[in-house]
């Protein structure tokens, strides 16, 4: 059965929004070139892009599957460090590490989520926080002698695509936002797939989902793995951009930030979480002089939002079924007389 017209309409409007946004974004690198500070703002947009990727990846776990996860920075870290180690020790070009980072992060997620995926709500949250911290501590302590300890890994190469070295903000802009566009496309397809719908189902009512034959534990693990894989790839991009990574970039604060992006933007909604990313990075940049005041604003925003608009700024539009969406009854039934 195909999805009803209502869903399709929302899609069309959303497509229009995407088209306008894409056009404006595509013009940004050129416009930036006209202004002295343009480079700086382009870099900010790059930051938004990276965080958008992270928010989208967390959205699969937190928004779609409804799993309380506040250790997402750990997956990001696993990806970044994998890329860094492969690049500095084995001279693997950064972009080639992407699939490996995704795989390593996903496997890591499977390994750590497996024992705890049955936990509910607050408990899962605490466990993921603990897990994130353990990863960070392991990085600081130079686990396996690979991670460089508290100083991290330096001297990561720039990524290069088709022989072009990607170093300036303009080049990174296309790389990052190109990846974001790809992600948005793929995740929309995911939302319409069986797996995606099953995730939503199991978020709303786990018992009913299990009863309908959705293998909840397995799907939850898959959600973790998918979200982790994407975060891992974002980590690789980050490593190539920052050229130096250290454990402090992947602390609890980072996880909380990504979590806030998803929640404030609208858990489960793809444009919503991108908006959330833009919002939080925007606050950070806009109030650069007031380091603490701006986090205060974020804290207040969270409390206020939960009281007044818990579904987030741009919530998910779930398909609404109306009688007109039902398929027409077959000929034979119509001519039957009621008993």
Q: Which of 92, 146, 283, 302 binds other proteins (CB under 8 A)?
A: 302
Asked if 31 is part of the footprint of other proteins (rule: CB under 8 A), the reply reads yes
Q: Which of 3, 15, 111, 150 binds other proteins (CB under 8 A)?
A: 150
Beta carbon of residue 238, minimum distance to other proteins (angstroms, whole number) = 10
CB 72 within 8 A of CB 231: yes
Which of these ranges, 87-95, 119-127, 221-229, 325-333, lies near other proteins under the rule CB under 8 A?
119-127
Asked if 154 is part of the footprint of other proteins (rule: CB under 8 A), the reply reads yes
Asked if 167 is part of the footprint of other proteins (rule: CB under 8 A), the reply reads yes
- DSSP per residue, 288-324: TT-HHHHHHHHHHHHHHHHHH-TT-SS--------GG
Between 2 and 164, CB nearer to other proteins: 164
Side-chain half-sphere exposure of 212, counting CA atoms within 13 A? 11
Cα distances from 13 to residues 101, 188, 322, in angstroms, run 35, 14, 19
Asked if 169 is part of the footprint of other proteins (rule: CB under 8 A), the reply reads yes
Interface positions, 260-289, toward other proteins (CB under 8 A): 260, 263, 265, 267, 271-272, 274-275, 278-279, 282
Asked if 295 is part of the footprint of other proteins (rule: CB under 8 A), the reply reads yes
Q: ∠ CA 157-161-166 to the nearest 5 degrees? A: 50
Asked if 43 is part of the footprint of other proteins (rule: CB under 8 A), the reply reads yes
Which of these ranges, 18-26, 53-61, 192-200, 213-221, lies near other proteins under the rule CB under 8 A?
18-26
Which of these ranges, 97-105, 133-141, 205-213, 320-328, lies near other proteins under the rule CB under 8 A?
133-141
Q: For the range 157-165, what are the long-range contacts, defined as Cβ-Cβ under 8 Å and sequence gap of 24 or more?
A: 157/87, 157/93, 157/94, 157/240, 157/243, 158/94, 158/240, 158/243, 159/93, 159/94, 159/95, 159/237, 159/240, 160/93, 160/94, 160/95, 161/95
Asked if 152 is part of the footprint of other proteins (rule: CB under 8 A), the reply reads yes
């Amino acid at each position: 059965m195909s999805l009803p017209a209502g869903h399709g309409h929302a899609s069309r409007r959303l497509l229009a929004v995407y088209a306008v946004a894409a056009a404006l974004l595509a013009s940004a690198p050129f416009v930036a070139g006209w202004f002295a500070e343009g480079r700086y703002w382009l870099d900010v947009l790059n930051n938004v892009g990276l965080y958008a990727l992270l928010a989208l990846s967390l959205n699969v776990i937190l928004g779609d599957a409804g799993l309380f996860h506040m250790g997402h920075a750990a997956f990001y870290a696993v990806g970044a460090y994998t890329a860094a180690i492969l690049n500095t020790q084995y001279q693997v070009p950064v972009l080639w590490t992407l699939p490996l980072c995704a795989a390593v992060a996903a496997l890591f997620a499977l390994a750590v989520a497996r024992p705890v995926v049955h936990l509910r709500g607050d408990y899962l949250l605490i466990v993921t926080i603990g897990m994130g911290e353990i990863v960070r501590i392991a990085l600081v302590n130079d686990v396996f002698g690979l991670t460089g300890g508290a100083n991290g890994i330096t001297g990561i190469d720039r990524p290069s695509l088709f022989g072009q070295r990607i170093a300036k903000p303009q080049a990174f802009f296309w790389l990052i936002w190109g990846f974001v566009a790809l992600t948005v496309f793929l995740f929309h397809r995911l939302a319409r797939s069986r797996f995606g719908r099953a995730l939503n189902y199991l978020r709303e009512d786990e018992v009913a989902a299990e009863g309908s034959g959705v293998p909840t534990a397995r799907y939850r693990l898959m959600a973790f793995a998918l979200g982790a894989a994407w975060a891992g790839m974002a980590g690789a991009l980050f490593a190539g951009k920052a050229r130096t990574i250290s454990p402090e970039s992947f602390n609890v604060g980072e996880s909380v930030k990504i979590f806030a992006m998803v929640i404030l933007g609208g858990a489960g909604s793809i444009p919503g979480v991108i908006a959330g990313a833009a919002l939080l990075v925007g606050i950070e940049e806009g109030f650069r002089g007031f380091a603490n005041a701006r986090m205060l604003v974020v804290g207040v925003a969270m409390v206020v939002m939960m009281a007044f608009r818990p579904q987030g700024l741009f919530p998910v539009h779930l398909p609404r079924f109306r009688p007109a969406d039902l398929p027409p009854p077959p000929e034979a039934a119509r001519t039957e007389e009621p008993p």
